[in-house]
Amino acid sequence: MHKGRMEAFSDGVIAIIITIMVLELKVPHGGQDLKALVPLIPVFMSYILSFVYVGIYWNNHHHMLQAAKSVNGRILWANLHLLFWLSLIPFVTAWMGENHFSQWPIICYGFVLVMNAFAYSILSNSLINHEGENSNLSKAIGRGSKGMISVGLYLTAIALSWINPWISFSLYVLVAIIWFIPDSRIEKSMAQDQ
């Protein structure tokens, strides 16, 4: 099966996710000066973090699919599974921002991040199984230690939210920083293949 429709559908869903998130940024009606923006700072901070996360997933998804030659039914379902968890990011983003990073919104945000990581792992493993263990994709992705570190940090953040939710938020920011620089292994592997 050709991968083009899956890529186009995924890009569309991700664009909608970002649109939903930005629509949660409401214009202040309580004034015309900069002080009117102060109550929106937590909402804006959570938006920025989530925008970066969605961008990271889109970037890595794009690179991974560029290395894949085709898809099958299992991959389509794995991709839908990832898109489902990504689609929950606007909800937990809004909840976290509107409640000023309180404990339960921070926990739910971390849970959604964990599930996104697992869903992405399922998708990448499905692609590797389809392409073969000796494929460029398999060589480029490797063992995925960044993914395991990320899940560990997410789970740590969830646990630490009982002590201080701001520590948890800081760990979520740290994981985003770790992933912000795109993984160049796929590009290098594809360049060697040409």
Q: Say what the alpha-carbon torsion angle 79, 82, 84, 87 is, to the nearest 10 degrees.
A: -120
* Cβ 29 vs Cβ 47: under 8 Å: no
Q: What are phi and psi of 176, to 5 degrees?
A: -60, -40
The structure tokens listed for 85 are 């968890």
Looking at residue 115, its pLDDT comes to 98
Q: What is the 8-class DSSP label of residue 3?
A: S
Please give the Cα distance from 99 to 95 (Å, whole number): 6
Q: 31 exposed, middle or buried (CB, 10 Å; 0-12, 13-18, 19+)?
A: exposed
Looking at residue 180, its pLDDT comes to 83
* Per-residue pLDDT tens listing for the chain (194 residues): 788 999 999 999 999 999 999 998 888 887 788 888 888 899 999 999 999 999 999 999 998 888 888 899 999 999 999 999 999 999 999 999 999 999 999 999 999 999 999 999 999 999 999 988 877 777 777 666 888 999 999 999 999 999 999 999 999 999 999 988 766 666 666 566 55
Looking at residue 87, its pLDDT comes to 98
Looking at residue 158, its pLDDT comes to 97
Looking at residue 116, its pLDDT comes to 98
Q: Where are the domains of the chain?
A: 4-193
Looking at residue 49, its pLDDT comes to 97
User: Which residues have CB under 8 Å from 13's CB, separation 6+?
Assistant: 83, 86, 87
Looking at residue 138, its pLDDT comes to 76
**Could you give the C-alpha distances from 127 to 88, 95, 107, 157, 164, in angstroms and in order?**
23, 34, 30, 30, 39
Looking at residue 188, its pLDDT comes to 65
Looking at residue 95, its pLDDT comes to 96
Looking at residue 30, its pLDDT comes to 75
Looking at residue 103, its pLDDT comes to 96
Q: What are phi and psi of 22, to 5 degrees?
A: -70, -30
